[in-house]
Homo-oligomer: A and B are copies of this chain.
Amino acid sequence: MSTRITAVDVHDVRFPTAAAGDGSDSLNRGDYSAAYVELRSDARDGTVGTGLAFTNGRGNELVCAAVRTLAHHVVGVKVEDVFADMVPFWRSLVADDQLRWLGPEKGVIHLATAALVNAVWDLRAKLSRVPLWKLLADMPAADLVATIDFRYIDDALEPQEARAMLEQAAAGAEERELDASGYPAYTTSVGWLGYSDEKVRALVRAAVAGGWRDMKMKVGLDADADARRAALIRSEIGPDARLMMDANQVWGVGEAIERMQRLAFVRPYWIEEPTHPDDVLGHARIARAVAPVRVATGEVAANRVIFKQLLQAQAIGVCQVDACRVGGVNEVLAILLLAARYGVPVCPHAGGVGLCEYVQHLAVFDYLRVSASLEGRMIEYVDHLHEHFVDPVTVTRGRYRVPRSPGYSVTMRPESVERFTFPDGEVWT
């Protein structure tokens, strides 16, 4: 039995979040958007593979256009053929000899690649009637390794090393159950820059009452305000909870070091995106200067080559891979293995549109087959926009429940797609 992908539909879906200050940070204040992809297939039951790339605002039309530009590599292929020999398929997207000039492997074209690649994995998991994490967790080590393009990373991780790591972690995988407790999480919903102190205090108290322990705040504009809000949150959550900070790339290298010295009094757990995401050496310098505060980054790290270097340079203490910034599941697998190779815990980036839904699968797989540990691991959680998904995340008492429905969990409700499609949906007209 084989299933052929017959068409690619893409939808420019946008939510009017900017006005409320939700998602506001030191450099971004957008209408949260998604280039939402549906892969039609000739499966008898009409199974549709879905994927998306998140965009923080305008320009989502570019990602949608890039999906259309790449679609010819996906239309007409058989899902089984793709999975029998995955690297050539992945390279058809990222190393198209007329398209790689537009990246390579970064920005608009790579976001579009992510949406398409993730949709192919979603289709595969749905056809197998398993959640994505289980599809991955049940794959033999050799098959997982065969999904990864080791070009440009084999100086840090060779295929046989990756295979040995996966085999070792597989040993105890069946005993590592997350059913009862779920996967640890932290919340970012309390501390957007657009919120007043009063709103932050009320949100922190509500979060604590709801079972949350670890929290993240945005920093980076006014230094006094950062210190005031940090002290406020620390006083509410107590001395033992983790307080993370996120500068969203607003600082230069020296500035990041100075600003974090000022904030050391609240004992931050990490500083996220202290400077430009391409600045591996800058992150390394900051990491040395602000220790024991960890440096975290990843949501805008373009590809596995950047992650490789962040790890080689000991620039990060936390790896925040994003499900649709890099080129989909295949590249995420490379990054999970690279992080494990360098002993750095993965705390995936989430929030946005559908990112929580996506990354819960990655974190569960990481635990079952790669890291074999929950120490220092948390999935980000933001309480926005989940109502638009057919199978939204379930987070209770600060922990993600393990998803059970088939696929990669980013299938959107048809009425939401229709209503929020830009510019013709009801919300935008």
Within 8 A of B (CB), among A1-37: 18, 27-31
- The answer to whether A140 has its CB under 8 Å from any CB of chain B is no
Contacts of A98 in B (CB 8 A): 18, 28-31, 56-59
> What's the interface size class on A, roughly?
35 or more
Residues of B within 8 A of A62 (CB): 62, 65-66, 69, 102, 108-109
Contacting pair B252 A151 (CB below 8 A)? yes
User: Which of A39-47, A271-279, A375-383 faces chain B?
Assistant: A271-279
- CB pair B252–A154 under 8 Å, yes or no, is yes
Complex interface residues of chain A between 264 and 321 (CB less than 8 A to chain B): 275-282, 285, 300, 302-303, 305-306, 308-309, 312-313
Measured between beta carbons, the chain B residues less than 8 angstroms from A28 are 97-98, 100-101
- A103 within 8 Å of B (CB atoms): yes
- On whether A280 and B277 interact (CB within 8 A), knowing A66-B108, A101-B56, A155-B285, the answer reads no
Contact of B107 with A103 in the complex, beta carbons under 8 Å: yes
Contact status A302-B99, CB under 8 Å = no
A309: chain B residues at CB < 8 Å are 278-282
Residue of B whose beta carbon sits closest to that of A275: B152
Q: How far is the CB of A216 from chain B (nearest CB, A)?
A: 18
Other-chain residue from B95, B281, B303 in contact with A312 (beta carbon distance below 8 A):
B281
Chain B CB within 8 A of A172 CB: no
**Does A421 touch B at the CB level, under 8 Å?**
no
**How far apart are the CA atoms of A308 and B98 in the complex, in Å?**
28
A65 contacts across to B, CB distance below 8 A? 61-62, 65
Query: Which chain B residue shows the least CB distance to A312?
Result: B281
The yes or no answer to A187 lying at the interface (CB within 8 A) is no
A97 touches B154 (CB 8 A): no
Alpha-carbon distance between A29 and B151 when the two chains are bound, in angstroms: 20
A177 within 8 A of B: no
Residue pair A313, B252 in contact (C-beta under 8 Å): no
Complex Cα–Cα for A117 and B281 (A): 28
A59 touches B109 (CB 8 A): yes
A96 at the interface (CB under 8 A from B): yes
Contacts of A31 in B (CB 8 A): 98
Give which listed residue, B96, B106, B155, B281, contacts A280 with CB less than 8 A.
B281
Are A253 and B155 closer than 8 Å at their CB atoms?
A: yes
Q: Which residues from B are CB-within-8-Å of A276?
A: 104-105, 152, 305
Contact of A101 among B59, B96, B155, B275 (CB under 8 A): B59
Q: Which residues of B contact A58 (CB under 8 A)?
A: 69, 96, 98-99
Please, how many angstroms separate the alpha-carbon atoms of A150 and B252 in the complex? 9
Q: Assuming A95-B27, A152-B279, A155-B252, is B305 touching A102 (CB within 8 A)?
A: no
CB of A248, distance to nearest CB on chain B (Å): 10
Residues of B within 8 A of A302 (CB): 106, 278
A63 interface residue, CB < 8 Å from B?
yes
Can you list 14 A-B contacts with CB-CB less than 8 angstroms, sorted by A residue number? Answer: A27-B97, A30-B98, A31-B98, A61-B65, A62-B62, A65-B65, A101-B300, A106-B278, A107-B109, A108-B108, A152-B253, A152-B282, A155-B252, A280-B309
Given A103-B106, A103-B107, 17 further pairs, Cβ under 8 A: A28-B98, A57-B99, A58-B96, A62-B62, A102-B107, A104-B249, A105-B276, A106-B278, A107-B110, A155-B282, A276-B305, A278-B278, A278-B305, A279-B305, A280-B280, A280-B281, A281-B313
